[in-house]
Each structure stands twice: as structure tokens, then as C-alpha cells.
Chains A and B, each alone.
Chain A
Amino acid sequence: LAKTTQPISMDSYEGQEVNITCSHNNIATNDYITWYQQFPSQGPRFIIQGYKTKVTNEVASLFIPADRKSSTLSLPRVSLSDTAVYYCLVGEVLTGGGNKLTFGTGTQLKVEL
């Protein structure tokens, strides 16, 4: 079973709010939910991370319902520069320490004028 499921692609226009939802039905008690952004020819960049409820930073908000089986990344007032692939990850905390992060296919967000 896939660790996370998210839409393959989304289109938006400048100035709009974009919400990308990710499903993670098998999330474990100790898992955190993390979102990354990747531009072409660059490494993924951390956007936001949460465990439950709502988290907000200067870039985005992350909404996590009580059952934690899904999460929604919210990007307010997107611009052309937000065109990128967005990955939802659920951390698998290992007994030996560390975190075996599995990246899914990601969501290609395209922002147009």
C-alpha cells in the first residue's frame, strides 16, 4: 500500500489560494506529516511540518484533522514562482533512530497568470 496519496497535478492562477490534500490512511502514532517543494534541477526544500491540528508559517499552512488520516497544504495567494512539485511525506520513525522518509509521486502545481 502506498504511504501517501496526493493528486498528480493541479492548476491555479496567480493570487488564488491553493489547497493540496494528501491521504495517509496508515499513519502511525509517532509519525509527523511533512511537506516539501521541489523546483526543476533543485533538491526538495522543506516547507512545513505538523503532527495534528493546524500549523502556520510564513510560507504555508498545514491542516490536519483529528484522525490524522489526511492533511491539506494551503498556499495563500500563489504566484508564478510557486510552480513546483509538492510532496507529502509521513515519517516512519525507526527503532534504531532516524526516520525513513518515503517520497511519493508528488503534486505538480502549475500557476498561470
Chain B
Amino acid sequence: DAGVIQSPRHEVTEMGQEVTLRCKPISGHDYLFWYRQTMMRGLELLIYFNNNVPIDDSGMPEDRFSAKMPNASFSTLKIQPSEPRDSAVYFCASSSASGGATGELFFGEGSRLTVL
């Protein structure tokens, strides 16, 4: 399996622009997680899905952030409008049913976002 695939790997945009990050989880995995990593705050869980349904979005910073999972093989994280403080590395991770319950996640390489 190719693992969790994220795109783009790098994105530089200007404040106020819309940003869309994409994730393809490992085939057959039931859970999908979006994390954000910064030097100041470390790794933060933003939202996670189970069988394409959002279960917990309490980590989403504010209404400018939204995430969708239209099918089992694709998810997006959208920021509109983007702000400089959104600059971070965004990771997508997936896990099987048992892994999601106990903690074995498979992470993608991340999308490094820079908002100028």
C-alpha cells in the first residue's frame, strides 16, 4: 500500500486566500484524522472521522476551518479565509477500526502551509 497520501506537500499563499488540503487514507481504514503541528503548540488534533462521519471537531480552531470526507478514500481540510497564524504543517492520518480505538495511526508526510 502507498500509505496515507497528502497534497500539496507545500503551499504558500497570501492572507485572505482559500486553502484546500487533501488526503487519501490507506484503503480499508475506517478512521481519518487531521492534525496540525506548530513549534508553539506541537501536534494538535483538529478533527477525526469514522466511516466518513465527523465524530469530534472540537479541535477545529474556528469557523474558517472546515473538513469533509465525501467518501472513504478522500478528505479535505479547507481554510477560508487563511491568516498568517494558520501557517503550520497539517498532517492527515488514518487507522483501522482496532487501531483507531487503541492508538495505532498511520500518518502522511504532511502539508506545509505558509500564509504570508
Contacts and interface: CB of A to CB of B under 8 A. Distances in A.
A46 B108 contact: no
B89 to A, nearest CB: 8
A101 interface: yes
Interface stretch (A12-20, A58-66, A76-84, A92-100): A92-100
Contacts of B109: 41-43
Interface residues of A, number: 25
Given A94-B56, A96-B55, A100-B56, A34 B104 contact: yes
Given A43-B109, A98-B50, A100-B56, A49 B43 contact: no
Contacts of B31: 98-99
A45 B102 CA distance: 15
A108 to B, nearest CB: 12
Contact of A98 (B56, B106, B107): B56
Task: State the main secondary structure of chain A at its contact with B.
Answer: loop
A102 B44 CA distance: 7
B101 interface: yes
Contacts of A44: 43, 91, 105, 107
B45 A91 contact: no
B43 A98 contact: no
Contacts of A99: 31, 100-103
Contacts of B42: 103-106
B56 A49 contact: no
B21 interface: no
A44 B105 CA distance: 9
B93 interface: yes
A43 B108 CA distance: 6
A32 B48 CA distance: 19
Interface of B: 4, 31, 33, 35, 42-45, 48, 50, 55-56, 91, 93, 100-110
